[in-house]
Structure 1
Amino acid sequence: MTSDDIARTGRPRSIETHSALTGEQTEAVLALLAEAALTDGRQAVSEQGRLQLRGGAREGVSHLLLTVDGELVGYAQLEDTDPVEAPAAELVVHPAHRGHGHGRALGTALLAASGKRLRVWAHGGHAAARHLAQVLGLTLFRELRQMRRPLTGLSLPDPVLPPEVTVRAFVPGRDDAAWLAVNAAAFAHHPEQGSLTQRDLDDRMAEPWFDPAGFFLAFRGDDLIGFHWTKVHAEEGLGEVYVLGVRPGEQGGGLGKALTTIGLRHLAGQGLPNAMLYVDADNKTAVSVYERLGFVTYETDLMYRTET
């Protein structure tokens, strides 16, 4: 038990911290996230965070459940796995229970759990999230853009691969280790993507959306040097440039652009009307490449942190 007080409604509020959730708790959190997404227009917790709800304890991951009279009305997840950066968190309050101080209570509990060294995501950058960050004394640290472009009538030049480079689809169980190594090298600067493990890869391969036919690997001889993993959001009619990476030393030769084109053509072939991707706003080179491919900013995620 990390907190036990009276909410603004006058009803008792408590926050419990767990290293792992039961099946019943997991389903309750997922239901809460679904209700919030209907109101907010997007998920308050990232895909990685939602995957970490299941499968038992994970090193460095904590789950905070906020209840009022035993009813789950708020959830936060704290991940302390980066050896350099401050712990990262995401949080959500049920739409019917907002305005009663629950977000602030969760934020305060996260600050206490992290030793007041914290980063917090605000997906969509809504005004209420910006206000909460200000109340908690957090400052803007990172801006992640979601960019989109139409796929209908897609017209892109034929992909031009560097000399002696071939592309084929990912084979589960055969390419896992090579992909994890290149992903870690390509995203060494990226605390979330670059730290993926075999368990993280297995989690994604177990998801209904996983399709190895849309997971493209580029090889020079037997060496994996780049990849483009696409994803289909069937309900939204969206194809995603899920992860695109090129091994250091192989960058700058046009491989990234070629792999992007291959993936977009694949998604267009699935009959999807639009494509999306995420890119850090300060990655000017990548933003410029995607803009030249017809992508425009659709919405923005913001990350806030304590002063360092």
Structure 2
Amino acid sequence: MQVLDELTPDVAGAVLELIETAARTDGQPAVSEQGRLQLRGGHREGVKHFLVRAEGDRVVGYGQLEGTDPVEAPAAELVVHPEFRGHGLGRKLGSALLEHSGRRLRLWAHGGHPAARHLAQTLGLTLFRELRQMRRPLTDLDLPEPVLPEGVTVRTFQPGTDDAAWLAANAEAFAHHPEQGSLTQRDLDDRKAESWFDPKGFFLAERQEEASRSDSPRGGGGRREGELVGFHWTKKHAEEGLGEVYVVGVRPGAQGGGLGKALTAIGLRHLAAEGVPTAMLYVDADNVPAVTVYERLGFVTHETDLMYRTEL
């Protein structure tokens, strides 16, 4: 087993191939989008890569440890090639991740497969988070016209121009969510470089505020400025025929007025107009208000990701 701070492009490609091979057996990738993005682009602060190789230097096991959160325990994911399962490699990877984390670990089991649940229990971890993937058909979509709060308008994202404002709004909207709320410019750039990125499906809600009289160059007031108060970023998975409610966020001061529901409907209408047959999204099971909103929009649970952690 090797523990590395960064991967060469060739090794990163081998790991991605491993993840894709395992996903064909498991039904979903064992490493998240964020984890896959962190394979490339050289060194990333707080990220370590664990490689298990077989004869011929073939990569047959991979683990990733991310310890960037200042409060929460480091988060980890791992995958073993289907042909090499049943020989204790998963346990060896898990033990190495546990050791390198200082025995403070959060471990994902994407899809909640029995073998992953068993491994977590073997490592002495306990379940503490359930992330649901929900889906609904978009064919014959029949949603009422979205109603925006007074003074709010919606436009699409302008790469480069809107980056800083969106990152600030995202940090405020997800201050309680360490993974989403801590996104950086590099994280945003990684996603903008992906083939699926389309600014036409990235919607920004602005609240127009009249500038003060003293701010007006003529001293008469009347000029209006926009404050980013919410957003809905959609994503298309072309091969799977899925459109994703990738992230919906509303700044704290704009919550409670129906903006999140309106933005969700705007994004779903966009995906339906693009000809995508099914919509999906991820939501924490304990976020009852959000789950309720999505259920009222016709979403049902499709599968569940589980996160385990060491006892505090």
When normalised by structure 1's length, the TM-score is 0.95
Correspondence 1:305 to 2:309: yes
Aligned mates of 1:75, 1:44 — CA distance in 2: 10
Which letter maps to 1:28? A
Match of 2:274 among 267, 270, 273: 270
The alpha carbon displacement at 1:68 in A equals: 2.5
Superposition RMSD on alpha carbons, in Å? 0.5
Which letter maps to 1:84? V
Instruction: Tell me what 1:11 maps to.
Output: none
Aligned length: 294
Correspondence 1:42 to 2:28: yes
Which letter maps to 2:79? V
Which letter maps to 1:96? E
Aligned mates of 1:187, 1:62 — CA distance in 2: 25
Which letter maps to 1:17? V
Instruction: Tell me what 1:131 maps to.
Output: 118
Secondary structure class of the residue paired with 2:196 = coil
Cα deviation, 1:39-96, whole Å, max 9, x if unaligned, reads 0011110000000000000000000001133321100000000000000000000000
Which letter maps to 2:283? V
Instruction: Tell me what 2:9 maps to.
Output: 23
Which letter maps to 1:16? Q
Question: Of the two, which has the highest radius of gyration?
Answer: 2
* Residues 1-308 of structure 1: pairs in structure 2 closer than 5 A: 15-69=1-55, 70-221=57-208, 222-308=226-312
Which letter maps to 2:279? A
Secondary structure class of the residue paired with 1:28 = helix
Instruction: Tell me what 1:8 maps to.
Output: none
Question: Unmatched 5+ residue regions in structure 1?
Answer: 1-14
Cα deviation, 1:106-162, whole Å, max 9, x if unaligned, reads 000001100100000000000000000011000001000000000000000000000
Aligned mates of 1:159, 1:275 — CA distance in 2: 18
Secondary structure class of the residue paired with 1:99 = coil
Aligned mates of 1:119, 1:140 — CA distance in 2: 9
Q: What stretches of structure 1 move > 4 A for 4+ residues in a row?
A: none
Aligned mates of 2:58, 2:99 — CA distance in 1: 23
Aligned mates of 2:206, 2:59 — CA distance in 1: 49
Secondary structure class of the residue paired with 2:51 = strand
Secondary structure class of the residue paired with 2:50 = strand
Aligned mates of 1:146, 1:174 — CA distance in 2: 32
Aligned mates of 1:290, 1:55 — CA distance in 2: 36
Which letter maps to 1:131? H
- Mean CA deviation greater in 80-89 or 63-72: 63-72
Aligned mates of 2:32, 2:80 — CA distance in 1: 15
Secondary structure class of the residue paired with 1:45 = coil
Which letter maps to 2:34? Q
Aligned mates of 2:261, 2:27 — CA distance in 1: 31
Aligned mates of 1:75, 1:178 — CA distance in 2: 36
Cα deviation, 1:150-204, whole Å, max 9, x if unaligned, reads 0000000000000010000000010000000000000011111000000000000
